[in-house]
Structure 1
Amino acid sequence: QAQQLADKLDPCSELVDLLERSIQENPPLSVKEGNIIKDGYNETLDRFRDASRNGKSWIAQLESKERELTGIKSLKIGYNRVFGYYIEVTKPNLHLLPKGRYERKQTLANAERFITQELKEKEALILEAEEKSIELEYELFVDIRERVKQYIPRLQSLAKAISELDVLQSFATVSEERHYVKPQFSEHRELIIQAGRHPVVEKVLGTQTYVPNDCYMNKERELLLITGPNMSGKSTYMRQIALTAIMAQIGCFVPADKAVLPIFDQVFTRIGAADDLVSGQSTFMVEMLEARNAIVHATQNSLILFDEIGRGTSTYDGMALAQAIIEYIHDHIGAKTLFSTHYHELTDLEQSLPKLKNVHVSAVEENGKVVFLHKIEEGPADQSYGIHVAELAGLPSSLIRRAEEILAELEQQEEQRKEEQEEPGGENEAVFEQLSMFAEEKPSKEETRLSKKEKKALETLKSVNLLEMTPLEALNKLYEIQKLLK
């Protein structure tokens, strides 16, 4: 391959010679300002430049020559914008001028002004030199440009060869400096990365700080569901897998200790929050459109990265969409997929989807503080540590304490709900039974004198259709009635 590249390196010697002789090393940006063409390239241009540069010197030499010829020491050559250049002689010395050589141009009170043929020629050259020089330079430039056009096919071939050489040299340099390894390609749909790194993040952090990670996927392990805290490195991990695959397929060594990769036909990503307000598309709509693009066009040989799909809508909507997307990819597409989520409920899918495996980014608590280890491990994460991240972001301490209180209450309610579901009869029967008993109970004589609130509670209870309510709706309604009776 090196010899093939060398054969394409056409030096274009004739063109190099033309450009070196004709064009200045640092010409102006505009081609109509002059100072483009080198001295010595064109004889006429050299004359114009000589006239422009040496005009005053010529005039001084001509003045000295005329004084010597006439013997008039007071003779002088001057210039004004109306008459141009002239030879001025005082009236007492007019008789010394040789006849036929001087042509009268202007008469003054004490002197006469003349012009000679030689001075006319010098005047034309001096006054027109700069203008004609610029015009001629542009003409010469256009001519050179037309001649260069003939070399376009050879130049394009040379540019392509140099660009290939530049890319390969860059690959070699970065691979050696950052200790990348040669990847292998698998025909068995295997993806094995040992101590993989993100090339850009590693460059910023340094090799001593960056934590490498492994990744293993095969025909029985097609979809990795990634859980873990915010800021723990889920997105970085996903991106480094995709970058490793892309780098390998463009011919570069990769940031890992070992890499065995399949050939991917496409890479699809749904990462980050973005909107298109001008087109009337919200962040969530953009998220869904990007997800659709991957789902519609991905094949079994594609790589899909989905980061936090579904978080732009309500919890249940988002979770339902995320699960449906995971199931569709698993059952109908079969692409290698990295899917990160904060919906911990989705980790149960490992039980029903044989090709899905849970992995998580680990974190530990030390002295009440969370330390992100940035290490990928098997299994689901146990916590999100979202409040800790909010604390790191500098939210007020009173706000953080309140969030922790609310979290504790929510977790306690969730535990109670699970315990009630485990009791015989289940949650539905318990709620419906309480409401039914309350609705069927006959009032005593003392209870016939009801307050307005009690009457409203009974009317609300009578209007309830228990068979069409969810357990949560039934509990909310019971709570509402109870508030009226207190």
Structure 2
Amino acid sequence: MESLVNHYFERMDINDSLTSVYDLERLVARVSLGNVNGRDLIQLKTSLQQIPGLVQAIAAIDEPDVWQAVIDKLEAYPEVIELIERAITDNPPIQITEGNIIRDGYDEQLDRYRDAMNNGKLWIAMLQKEEREKTGIKTLKIGYNRIFGYYIEVTKANLAALPEGTYERKQTLANAERFVTPALKEKETLILEAEEKSVELEHELFVALREEIKGYSRQLQALAKLVAEIDVLQSFAHVSEAYHFSKPELSNSDRNLSIKEGRHPVVERVIGKDKFVPNSISMNEDNHILLITGPNMSGKSTYMRQVALIVILAQMGCFVPAEKAHLPIFDQIFTRIGAADDLYSGQSTFMVEMVETNQALRFATDKSLILFDEIGRGTATYDGMALAEAILRYIDRTIKGKTLFSTHYHELTQLEADLAGTKNVHVGAIEKDGELVFLHKLMQGPADKSYGLHVAKLAGMPHELIAEAQVILNSLNEQHVLHAGTGIPVPDDTVEQLALFQENAMQPNEKHILDELSDLALEDCTPMQAMLMIDGWKKLLKSQKSR
């Protein structure tokens, strides 16, 4: 691929040759399956005719140690080209049973049939002229219908002018008689047989031709695969040069991941290179987890995706959108990014999230790349936070694969002090004149604020709603202990997550009933005693409600 990047003009010649190559793999597959038609064969011939020019363009690169093995395998199969050229017309129909698919001169019998069809009418006109001259009957005519075929029609007034023994009566009309002659019968048989059998013969000839070309299936499949690889490589080279990609360093001996000024190739194309903010990443052998914090819309997901895309492009053999990249070779990439309910199987967003996360945790290795985006956000705050922390600890302890983990749980950033393989980074944002400005730049350390209300404001929510949310947020902050030096609210130890049943809200009668129920020896109760006890409990509850 690097060779193609460095040889622009030769690459353009390769591209020109490939422009006229059809989908060879599809064509060869149709040949192998025996359902190719005439147009497919013309496309196959056209594609094969480009191979010599492709070989010449590659040879012009003059790097035999890189390309000689490829050149040696690029065979045009001139015998296939010659066979299709000799047999198939330039513009055959799609259907192989309609005729007009085999070229004139390919088969002698087919040529006779075609001559009969093309020249039959001329011969009939000449015969009519001859019969008129021979009999002197100027009104004599030769006609045709589907029931009787070709016939000579003579009016009854001229019947006496016909010579004896030559004409055989075929049909009698009110004012005329219709006859046939041995010469007319012979020509009729030839014309009708030609029309009927020429299409049948063409089909037989085409099927035989198709089977002959089918014998080259294996060689043509190998050629199609090689041409496809060349096409991919020259496409990679074009993209790499046009969008300023760089050659990555791939290593299977270390697990260092380093990307300098990496870019998301799709987002960059959509918003423009001048607006896209590149970002770097550096994870050494011991750094397994990159914990990414920052406000919504700041670019956390884009950053994670661009790392994965750079890895994929590099392992495909393409240059990458970065100034410089040193990458380990990954065996798998696991992602959990975005939210989606699986309605057909009855799975919620959170269930889908857990299933996909479990796939990564079960099958990832220390050579895998794992991307987790806001794991745990689909359930209660403490449940989600507990799961997220446990997942991070499991990855650090058991898997040790390179992991990018974005989260809004700022409490998780404290794990950097506890887990040696974890490193905090955040996507920067600043407040300017009361407005939130996204920097889209990755910075060291955790984010200091979530900026959720600012994002809601950017989304266009009503001002009074935002103001009310700010009041509520201030109230919540006052009810919690603030993390020293950061302003991040951390739940007080005395505040518990809402339970399904709250004991402190229980009335005295309810407490009495639960005590009796817990002390009840059910095995010693008769059904009648149990019913009486339940009835008594119901009355207690009703009396409580009536107060």
TM-score, normalized by length of structure 1? 0.82
Task: Return the offset for 1:413.
Answer: 2.6
1:416–1:220: structure 2 CA closer, same or farther, 3 Å change rule? closer
Matches within 5 A, 1:24-43: 24-43=89-108
Q: Which amino acid aligns with 1:354?
A: A
Secondary structure at the aligned position of 1:10 is classed as: coil
CA change 1:117–1:247 in 2 (3 A) is same
1:191 counterpart = 2:257: yes
Equivalent AA in structure 1 for residue 432 of structure 2: E
State the one-letter code of the partner of 1:358. Answer: N
- Residue 293 of structure 1: aligned partner: 359
Distance 1:428 1:264, change over 3 A: closer
Structure 1 partner of 2:131: 66
Is the 1:87–1:113 contact (alpha carbons within 8 Å) kept by the matching residues of 2? yes
Q: What does residue 284 of structure 1 align with? A: 350
Cα offset for 1:380?
Answer: 1.2
Q: Which residue of 2 aligns with 1:221?
A: 287
Which of 400, 403, 421 is the matching residue for 1:334?
Answer: 400
- Distance apart, 1:417 and its partner CA: 11
**1:258 and 2:312 matched:** no
Q: Quote the Cα distance in structure 2 between the aligned partners of 1:417 and 1:171.
A: 50
Match of 1:344 among 410, 425, 437: 410
Q: Matched residues in 2 for 1:417 and 1:168: separation? A: 54
- Please list, as runs of the form range in 1=range in 2, the aligned pairs for 1:280-429 lying within 5 A after superposition: 280-415=346-481
In 2, distance between residues paired with 1:389 and 1:124? 87
C-alpha distance in structure 2 between counterparts of 1:397 and 1:129, whole Å: 86
Once residues 346 and 61 of structure 1 are traced to their aligned partners in structure 2, the CA distance between those partners, rounded to angstroms, is: 101
For residues 164-215 of structure 1, give each alpha carbon's deviation from its aligned partner in whole angstroms, at most 9, with x where no partner exists: 2112111111111111111112333111111111122222223222211101
Q: Which runs of structure 1 show a deviation greater than 6 angstroms over 4 or more consecutive aligned residues?
A: 416-419, 456-465
Alpha-carbon distance, 1:427 to partner: 6.5
1:128-167 equivalences in 2 (<5 Å): 128-167=193-232
In 2, Cα distance between equivalents of 1:45 and 1:390:
78
Q: How many residues align?
A: 434
What displacement does 1:82 show? 2.2
Alignment correspondent of 2:246: 181
Deviation at 1:83, TM superposition (A): 1.7
Q: Distance in 2 between matches of 1:459 and 1:418?
A: 45
- Report how far residue 11 of structure 1 moved: 1.1
Post-superposition offset of 1:143: 0.4
Query: Per-residue CA shift, 1:433-456, capped at 9, x if unaligned?
Result: xxxxxx9xxxxxxxxxxxxxxxx9
> RMSD of the alignment, in Å?
2.9
Q: CA deviation at 1:395?
A: 4.0
Matched, 1:22 2:81: no
Counterpart position of 1:91? 156
Q: C-alpha distance in 1, partners of 2:483/2:67?
A: 70
Q: Using the TM superposition, give the Cα deviation of residue 25 of structure 1 relative to its aligned residue in structure 2, in angstroms.
A: 4.0
Query: Greater Rg, structure 1 or structure 2?
Result: 1
For residue 483 of structure 1, what is the aligned residue in structure 2? none
- Residue 269 of structure 2 is matched in structure 1 by 203
Q: Distance in 2 between matches of 1:141 and 1:64?
A: 40
Change in CA separation of 1:208 and 1:129 when aligned onto 2, cut-off 3 Å:
farther
1:223 deviates by 0.8
Structure 2 distance, partners of 1:258, 1:417, is 39
1:398 CA displacement: 4.3
Per-residue CA deviation, residues 86-143 of structure 1 (Å, 9 max, x unaligned), is 1111123223333333221111222111122333333334444444232222211210
Structure 2 CA distance, aligned partners of 1:344 and 1:3?
57
Say if 1:227 and 1:76 are closer, same or farther in 2 by CA, change over 3 A: same
Unaligned runs of 5+ in 1: 420-425, 430-438, 440-455, 466-486
Contact 1:5–1:165 (CA under 8 A) maintained in structure 2 = no
Question: What is the Cα deviation at residue 330 of structure 1?
Answer: 0.7
Query: Percent of pairs identical after alignment?
Result: 63
Deviations 1:450-477 (A, max 9, x none): xxxxxx9887999999xxxxxxxxxxxx
Provide closer, same or farther for how the CA distance between residues 119 and 188 of structure 1 changes in structure 2, counting only shifts above 3 A: same
Letter in 1 for 2:299: G
